[in-house]
């Protein structure tokens, strides 16, 4: 009887053991396959002549890939300290590694290399995962969209050349956003990034889609939710092998923002509703004239909406489809609004941390605005404010890397190193901007650093200037074309906040400006950081 009992018990236990073994075996096998795939692609795509920050052993490569995902700036700094007179490479998940040029001669060589050899366009395509996150907007298999090649020139021709036309409405949009703040007993506690983000979303939308939509709260909320949703979705999508994205990409994009307000798909539907309505108005305007005609950028005294010009080009000249126009508008919103918001966010935090700068900055703003008002010459004359904003950007860039390029073909550098076709190349701008070789006491905040450098005869000291030791806006022909508007917008917003409020950052020494994690080379703002605005 005892033997039969033991036999029955054994028969009952066997399925349990099998289930336990299966539960352990399946995830272990899955993880092993993923790890092997990561190793294989890393070795296959790595440039053999370029060193890694650590050795190229099995576990070391996996660790470097993990560290780059969760603390990209940290591993970039480690690599720069080792190879500051050369270059190095960081392995990435399921794609070419990130080659980082440290030597000044190599950086200058990259700046002067033609786009036919190293191009930023494939990098932008991969960064934003356009074919997966924005399917159907651009022609498939035809390279970088023609409309995206044209828009930078349009921005230079309108926003830069005719910036003065946009200033009154941008100024009013900033005032309107500040009027939405709710004060109790003269004080308003607000998330610092949310404040900067809301200001830029409203004022930046004026140049993109016009005054009416820049006052539409439903549209503005959708824009902000869509941009943050797109950031989260693209970063998660970036980690997935391209061969699996057609099958699980849609699911991943929805899971990435599950139970958040950053629902990219829902917010996009709202924006499309407003885009379609605005496009119908453009269409009516075009054909209500004596004959179909488009807006002349130079003859018009009013600021030209970017959306309007793109739409008119699609209707009258068949340069691109309406879907391409909408896709380009989504990309422009992402590029301009988020990066400008991050710059303004860092400046507001530093202003609260460094109250000794408030008095001289207010004095400059009061003096210039009383004479010139909120104009382009006034913004150009705000040299102290310009220096303060540039110092904030120097210490708090949105990314530890800039000047991204992808090798169109194998590229042989002047030091003899050959980079494989498809290799990602960039410059460690975040590290360079904190280097003692370029800046005295580089980790200390000096709001008037660039005013002093200009007085000493240094060149390229303005916020919008490009130089090898200040790369926030990129370098060369592919530098940010909207930096003049971004600069003017930040100065106007900064001036209004300074003149209206005293700014307090509770426990300022204890609260970091960035979140606890970065994502690859990109810094993440501390969404929980709040400032107190006290009415003057």
Strand 187-191 with 501-504, pairing = unpaired
Q: Which of 407, 433, 459 is the last residue of a domain?
A: 433
Q: What pLDDT shows up at residue 292?
A: 53
The residues, any chain, with a CB within 8 Å of residue 10's CB and separated by 6 or more, are none
- Cβ-in-10-Å burial (0-12, 13-18, 19+) of 391 comes to buried
Q: Which residues pair with 98 in a beta bridge?
A: 90, 424
> Which residue, among 185, 193, 506, has the nearest Cα to 352 in the 3D structure?
506
Quick one: tokens of 357?
A: 């700068």
The conformation of residue 272, written as its DSSP 8-state character, comes to H
Residues 246 and 195 reside in one and the same domain: yes
**Beta carbons of 472 and 482 less than 8 angstroms apart:** no
The conformation of residue 355, written as its DSSP 8-state character, comes to G
pTM over 0.85: yes
208 in any annotated domain: yes
The CATH number of the domain holding residue 353 is: 1.10.630.10
Residues 219 and 332 reside in one and the same domain: yes
Residues 77 and 99 reside in one and the same domain: yes
Q: How far apart are CA 528 and CA 2, in angstroms?
A: 65
Q: What pLDDT shows up at residue 12?
A: 54
Quick one: tokens of 481?
A: 């074309």
16 in any annotated domain: no
Residues 427 and 506 reside in one and the same domain: no
Quick one: tokens of 437?
A: 């070789």
**Beta carbons of 256 and 236 less than 8 angstroms apart:** yes
Q: How far apart are CA 392 and CA 349, in angstroms?
A: 9
325 in any annotated domain: yes
Q: How far apart are CA 242 and CA 92, in angstroms?
A: 13
pLDDT in tens, 455-472: 999 999 999 999 989 999
| SS3 assignment, position 137 | coil
Q: 181 phi and psi, to 5 degrees? A: -70, 140
Q: What pLDDT shows up at residue 41?
A: 64
pLDDT in tens, 332-366: 898 899 999 999 999 999 999 999 999 999 999 99
Residues 253 and 319 reside in one and the same domain: yes
Maximum Cα–Cα distance for the chain, whole Å? 105
Show the CA angle centred on residue 120, arms to residues 319 and 116, nearest 5°.
80
Q: How far apart are CA 173 and CA 161, in angstroms?
A: 21
Helices (H), 317-438: 322-333, 339-353, 358-372, 376-381, 383-395, 429-432
Residues 273 and 363 reside in one and the same domain: yes
Q: Which of 409, 433, 457 is the last residue of a domain?
A: 433
Show the CA angle centred on residue 143, arms to residues 133 and 228, nearest 5°.
25
The residues, any chain, with a CB within 8 Å of residue 449's CB and separated by 6 or more, are 387, 390, 391, 394, 439
The CATH number of the domain holding residue 406 is: 3.30.43.20
In whole angstroms, how large is the CA radius of gyration of the chain?
A: 26
**Beta carbons of 191 and 529 less than 8 angstroms apart:** yes
Quick one: tokens of 213?
A: 């939509």
Residues 476 and 519 reside in one and the same domain: yes
Residues 248 and 222 reside in one and the same domain: yes
**Beta carbons of 279 and 309 less than 8 angstroms apart:** no
Residues 306 and 326 reside in one and the same domain: yes
Measured over the CA atoms of residue 240, residue 242, residue 244 and residue 246, the dihedral's sign is: positive
Residues 403 and 271 reside in one and the same domain: no
Q: Which residues pair with 92 in a beta bridge?
A: 95
Q: What pLDDT shows up at residue 7?
A: 43
Q: What pLDDT shows up at residue 404?
A: 92
**Beta carbons of 466 and 402 less than 8 angstroms apart:** no
15 in any annotated domain: no
4 in any annotated domain: no
Residues 451 and 314 reside in one and the same domain: yes
Residues 475 and 350 reside in one and the same domain: yes
- Residue numbers of the domain that contains 86: 38-138+399-433
**How many of the other CB atoms lie within 10 Å of CB of 454?**
17
Measured over the CA atoms of residue 127, residue 133, residue 135 and residue 137, the dihedral's sign is: negative
Q: Which of 433, 459, 488 is the last residue of a domain?
A: 433
Q: What pLDDT shows up at residue 277?
A: 94
11 in any annotated domain: no
Q: What pLDDT shows up at residue 3?
A: 46
Number of domains in the chain: 2
Q: What pLDDT shows up at residue 9?
A: 44
Helices 192-209 and 483-500: crossing angle in degrees, nearest 10, is 130
Show the CA angle centred on residue 99, arms to residues 96 and 103, nearest 5°.
170
pLDDT tens for the 536 residues of the chain, in order: 544 454 454 455 556 566 665 666 666 665 566 566 656 666 667 788 899 888 777 777 778 878 888 888 999 999 999 999 999 998 887 677 789 999 999 999 999 998 889 988 888 888 888 777 777 788 776 667 777 777 887 777 777 778 888 899 899 999 999 999 999 988 999 999 999 999 999 999 988 898 889 999 999 999 999 999 888 888 888 777 777 777 777 777 777 777 777 888 889 999 999 999 999 988 888 777 655 555 655 665 677 788 888 888 877 777 788 898 898 899 889 889 999 999 999 999 999 999 999 999 999 999 999 899 999 999 999 999 999 999 999 999 999 999 999 999 999 999 999 999 989 999 999 999 999 999 999 999 999 999 999 999 999 999 999 998 999 999 888 888 889 999 999 999 999 999 999 998 876 556 788 876 677 889 989 998 999 999 98
Measured over the CA atoms of residue 15, residue 16, residue 20 and residue 21, the dihedral's sign is: negative
495 in any annotated domain: yes
13 in any annotated domain: no
Q: List, in sequence order, every beta strand (DSSP E) within 168-279.
A: 187-191
Q: How far apart are CA 116 and CA 409, in angstroms?
A: 9
Helices 217-238 and 264-287: crossing angle in degrees, nearest 10, is 130
CA dihedral of residues 318, 319, 321, 324 (deg, nearest 10): -170
What distance lies between CA 36 and its chain's CA centroid?
32
Annotation-wise, does 480 bind a ligand? Answer: yes
């Amino acid at each position: 009887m005892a033997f039969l009992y033991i036999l029955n018990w054994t028969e009952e236990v066997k399925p349990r053991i099998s289930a336990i073994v299966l539960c352990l075996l399946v995830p272990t096998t899955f993880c092993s396959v993923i790890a092997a795939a990561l190793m294989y692609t890393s070795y296959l795509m790595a440039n053999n002549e370029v060193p890694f920050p650590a050795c190229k052993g099995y576990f070391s490569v996996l660790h470097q890939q993990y560290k780059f995902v969760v603390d990209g700036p940290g591993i970039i700094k480690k690599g720069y300290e080792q190879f500051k007179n050369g270059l190095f490479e960081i392995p990435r998940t399921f794609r070419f590694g990130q080659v980082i040029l440290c030597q000044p001669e190599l950086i200058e060589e990259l700046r002067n290399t033609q786009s036919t050899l190293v191009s930023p366009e494939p990098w932008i395509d991969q960064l934003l995962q356009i074919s997966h996150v924005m399917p159907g907007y651009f022609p498939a298999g035809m390279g970088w969209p023609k409309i995206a090649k044209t828009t930078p020139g349009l921005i230079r021709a309108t926003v830069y050349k005719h910036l003065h036309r946009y200033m009154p409405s941008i100024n009013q949009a900033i005032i309107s956003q500040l009027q939405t703040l709710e004060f109790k007993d003269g004080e308003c506690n607000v998330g610092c990034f949310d404040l900067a983000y809301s200001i830029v979303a409203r004022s930046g939308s004026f140049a993109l889609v016009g005054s009416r939509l820049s006052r539409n709260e439903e549209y503005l909320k959708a824009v902000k939710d869509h941009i943050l949703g797109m950031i989260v979705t693209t970063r998660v999508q970036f980690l997935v092998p391209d061969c699996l994205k057609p099958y699980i990409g849609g699911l991943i994009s929805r899971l990435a923002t599950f139970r958040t307000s950053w629902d990219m798909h829902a917010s996009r539907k709202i924006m499309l509703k407003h885009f379609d309505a605005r496009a119908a108005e453009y269409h009516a305007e075009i054909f209500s004239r004596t004959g179909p005609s488009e807006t002349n950028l130079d003859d018009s005294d009013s600021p030209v909406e970017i959306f309007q010009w793109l739409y008119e080009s699609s209707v009258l000249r068949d340069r691109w489809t309406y879907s391409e126009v909408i896709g380009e508008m989504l990309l422009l919103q992402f590029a301009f609004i988020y990066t400008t918001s991050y710059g303004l966010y860092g400046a507001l935090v530093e202003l609260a941390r460094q109250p000794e700068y408030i008095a001289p900055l207010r004095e400059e703003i009061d003096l210039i605005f009383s004479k010139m008002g909120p104009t382009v010459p006034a913004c150009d004359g705000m040299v102290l404010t310009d220096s303060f904003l540039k110092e904030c950007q120097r210490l708090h860039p949105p990314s530890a890397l800039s000047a991204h390029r992808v090798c169109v073909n194998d590229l042989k550098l002047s030091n003899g190193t050959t980079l494989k076709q498809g290799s990602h190349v960039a410059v460690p701008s975040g590290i360079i901007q904190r280097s003692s070789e370029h800046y005295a006491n580089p980790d200390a905040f000096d709001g008037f650093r660039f005013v002093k450098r200009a007085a000493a005869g240094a060149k390229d000291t303005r916020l919008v200037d490009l130089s090898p030791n200040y790369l926030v806006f990129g370098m060369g022909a592919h530098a940010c074309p909207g930096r003049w508007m971004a600069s003017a917008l930040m100065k106007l917003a900064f001036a209004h906040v300074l003149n209206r409020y005293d700014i307090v950052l509770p426990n300022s020494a204890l609260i970091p400006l960035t979140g606890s994690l970065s994502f690859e080379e990109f810094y993440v703002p501390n969404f929980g950081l709040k400032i107190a605005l006290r009415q003057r």
